[in-house]
Copies of this chain bind each other. A is one copy, B any other.
Amino acid sequence: MTVLDFSKLDGLVPAVAQDWETGEVLMVAFMNSEAWERTLSTGLMHYWSRSRRALWKKGESSGNAQEVRELRVDCDGDSVLAKVRQIGGAACHTGYRSCFHRVVEGGAVRLDGVKVFDPAEKYGGKA
């Protein structure tokens, strides 16, 4: 399905995962065409990991998968908005519900978010 233009960013588009119930923005990552197609066919969020240079099924190692509730594309077809059900309650590898748990204000960064798990416990100190 060719609703997305992957040509603007070397084969990638940014994808926003938003909690389908609360509207909280959980994370931003990238999809290539394979990640998009897998997301469509499986109903589970797939991204392209830029650091590992590999297809990344969200939650593959953590168990914290994302079930697709709705997929949207933007006006010029170069980004994705996914409304998801976040399995395990946390999108972030740090244990926070959202990766956006850092507020920038007055020249400083303040933590503001719900921590759902302890990464040291979950990953045995590897996170």
Does A32 count as interface, using CB distance less than 8 angstroms? no
Copies in the complex: 2
What class of interface size applies to chain A in its complex with B? 35 or more
Kindly provide the distance from the CB of A26 to the nearest chain B CB, expressed in whole angstroms.
10
Interface string of A14-36 (1 = CB under 8 A from B): 10101000111101100000000
Which residue of the partner chain, among B81, B93, B94, B112, contacts A25 with CB atoms under 8 Å?
B81
Q: Can you identify 28 A-B contacts, CB atoms within 8 angstroms?
A: A3-B109, A8-B50, A9-B9, A14-B14, A14-B28, A16-B16, A16-B25, A16-B28, A18-B25, A22-B23, A23-B23, A27-B74, A28-B81, A70-B105, A71-B103, A71-B104, A72-B100, A72-B102, A72-B112, A73-B100, A73-B102, A73-B104, A73-B109, A74-B99, A74-B102, A75-B94, A75-B102, A81-B100
